[in-house]
């Protein structure tokens, strides 16, 4: 699972009002290189919640991202490269996602988070 997905996911348990962001318990982290697409980065930038994104990247061992951002940074090649790397190239292979309200763990194995809920959580 990439941080792109993590930034979109929120806990879906019944009764939870603010299930975002899910905390990450990092086990195994891998990096896979992919081609950079500036258009996509500019498009997705407006949708990313930056603070949780930086936090998540730190948990996975990448702390190059600036704490504060504004859209003007999108013209900087240096920033785009870092943004791209954190968003699309770092994968959480093994570990868990933790619901911020209930503390319920969603295990991640082989890069796939198991988001299935128990019957009493629906």
Partner 1 sequence: MAARPELLAPPEIFYDQSEARKYTSSSRIIDIQAKLSERALELLALPDDGVPRLLLDIGCGSGLSGETLSESGHQWIGLDISEAMLDVAVEREVDGDLLHADMGQGLGFRPGVIDGAISISAVQWLCNADKSSHEPRLRLKAFFGSLYRSLARGARAVLQLYPQNIAQRELIFNYAMRAGFGGGVVVDYPHSTKSRKEYLVLNCGPPSLSAAVPNAKGEDGMSCSDDEENHTVTVSDRNRPRKKRKLDKTNGGKDWVIQKKEQMRRKGAAVPADTKYTARKRKSRF
78 lies in the site for partner 1, by CB under 8 A: no
Q: In what order do the strands lie in the sheet with 105-109?
A: 23-31, 90-98, 105-109
88 lies in the site for partner 1, by CB under 8 A: yes
Quote the least distance from Cβ 59 to partner 1, whole Å: 17
State phi, psi for 69 to the nearest 5 degrees: -135, 155
113 lies in the site for partner 1, by CB under 8 A: yes
Quote the least distance from Cβ 47 to partner 1, whole Å: 5
Judged by CB under 8 A, the residue of 28, 30, 43, 75 near partner 1 is 43
59 lies in the site for partner 1, by CB under 8 A: no
How many residues contact partner 1, by CB under 8 A? 31
Chain position carrying tokens 């905390």: 23
- Longest distance between any two alpha carbons in the chain, whole Å: 48
Candidates 79, 83, 82, 115; CA nearest to 96 is 115
Alpha-carbon gap, residue 90 to 70, rounded angstroms: 23
Binding site for partner 1 (CB under 8 A): 1-2, 4-5, 7-12, 19-20, 34, 37, 39-40, 43-44, 47, 49, 88, 110-117, 119, 122
């Amino acid at each position: 699972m990439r941080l792109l997905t993590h930034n979109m996911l929120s806990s879906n348990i019944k009764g939870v009002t603010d299930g975002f962001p899910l905390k990450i318990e990092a086990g195994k982290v891998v990096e896979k290189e992919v081609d950079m697409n500036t258009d996509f980065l500019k498009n997705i930038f407006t949708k990313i919640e930056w603070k949780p994104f930086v936090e998540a990247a730190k948990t996975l061992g990448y702390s190059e991202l600036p704490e504060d951002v504004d859209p003007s940074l999108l013209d900087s090649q240096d920033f785009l490269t870092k943004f791209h790397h954190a968003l699309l190239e770092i994968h959480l292979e093994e570990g868990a996602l933790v619901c911020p309200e209930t503390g319920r763990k969603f295990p991640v194995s082989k890069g796939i988070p198991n988001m299935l809920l128990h019957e009493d959580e629906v």
